[in-house]
Structure 1
Amino acid sequence: MEGLRDRTRRAVRAELAGRALELFTERGFDETTVDDIARAAGLSKRSFFRYFPAKEDVLFGGVEALAEQVAAEIAARPAGEGPWECLHAVLRDWEARINTQIEVMRLIEDTPALRTRLLQKRDEARGRIIEALTGRGVPELEADLAAAAAGAALDTVAREWLRTGGSADRTALTDRVFTMLRPAFLAPGTDRPS
């Protein structure tokens, strides 16, 4: 059970993220300082760094926890399931749960520092996913390829969602993109769909 300290920490992180997003949207990422964010949340700059190691991380605070949860769900999937089907099932479920804000996505797309930080966070997450797949007996090369392809699939979903102004069904897009890539992950000797 989560204690009061953990709930308080999570609430402060959410408050900082919300204030940061408001300021980034209003002023721009580069024009907003850590002091500005901390002041808007009623904290000191020093307190800000207790919750986030860098300004970029204020928008990506939940990525580490998400990666750990995704890896745990991959490990818990049925033993005979192929890596692509496993990733599709787990990531489809997450895509349905993620409440992505179009302002955040646009801000990331328009800000090189945020795109760079997102790529770093995704690389770390992909490493956890590869470990989870190899833990299921998937060869490392296949696990690496499947994780990279799944990341590219989710990037494609996000870009299409942005193109539609956030109106597209992200779960349906995820299913479509994973289905498009599925033939590449059929086991050797398996008939390809016609």
Structure 2
Amino acid sequence: MTRAETTGLRERTRRAVRAELAELALGLFVEHGYERTTVEDIAAAAGLSKRSFFRYFPTKEDVLFGDVDELADQIADAIRERPAGEDPWTCLHLVLRDWEGRIHAAQRELTGLRLIETTPALRARLHQKRDELRARIATALRERPGSTLDAFTADLLTAAAGAALDAAAREWLRSDGTADRSALIAEAFAVLSPHPAKPAPA
């Protein structure tokens, strides 16, 4: 087996363990409550030591946020790769629309989102993660070929895009997960658009 194959296998194994820990943790949080569930409880359910748990997640809060940090880098790369002539708001809409499903999957979907919304520690961690994501996205907007955006405008557009996603997510929760998330996002971006409304490309 080559070094690249070994590295790839190791990374796939790591991802599988992280996913298992996240699923086990979510089940324990729902059954016993977030505050009452310890890292030791999660590790024991997975047959790991507490020390091993921290090899996969830096904190208990992070177990519900999956690969958000890695996603942030990939989203930023996707923004940099959009056509140079595309206006920033359309760029944000199309990229975040395409990535929204994976962002939600990283937050464990409906049950996880509800838990996050009702747990102060998790909400605080979510806001921190979102701030970090928005900072990377704002930087990526300014780094696009031909971009003339200043830092203030990039921050403002990114914050508005984040508000659109947040509002769409809350409406999705209110619908018990039955609403069309893509349609909600499109509506939110249309309402906040700094330009006359235009249908997004299919």
Out of 170, 175, 178, the position equivalent to 1:164 is 175
RMSD, aligned CA: 1.3
List structure 1 runs of 4+ shifted beyond 3 angstroms: 96-100
Deviation at residue 101 of structure 1 after TM alignment: 1.7
2:84 corresponds to: 79
Q: How many residues align?
A: 186
Question: Are positions 1:110 and 2:118 aligned together?
Answer: yes
2:200 corresponds to: none
Question: Are positions 1:127 and 2:127 aligned together?
Answer: no
1:150 corresponds to: 161
Is the 8 Å Cα contact of residues 161 and 168 (structure 1) preserved in structure 2? yes
Deviation at residue 96 of structure 1 after TM alignment: 4.2
TM-score w.r.t. length of structure 1: 0.92
Is the 8 Å Cα contact of residues 75 and 132 (structure 1) preserved in structure 2? yes
AA matched with 1:82: D
3-state SS of paired residue (2:178):
coil
Question: Are positions 1:56 and 2:64 aligned together?
Answer: no
Deviation at residue 133 of structure 1 after TM alignment: 0.5
- Between the aligned residues of both structures, percent identity stands at 63
3-state SS of paired residue (2:137):
helix
Relative to structure 1, the CA distance from residue 169 to residue 69 in structure 2 (aligned partners, 3 Å threshold; closer, same or farther) is same
Is the 8 Å Cα contact of residues 153 and 177 (structure 1) preserved in structure 2? yes
- Deviations for 1:72-118, whole angstroms, at most 9, x for unmatched residues? 10000000111110000001111245445210011001100000000
Find the aligned partners of 1:161 and 1:13 in 2 and give their Cα distance. Answer: 26
Q: Report which stretch shifted further, 87-96 or 73-82.
A: 87-96
Is the 8 Å Cα contact of residues 24 and 32 (structure 1) preserved in structure 2? yes
Structure 2: gaps (5+ residues):
198-202
AA matched with 1:56: E
Structure 1: gaps (5+ residues):
187-191
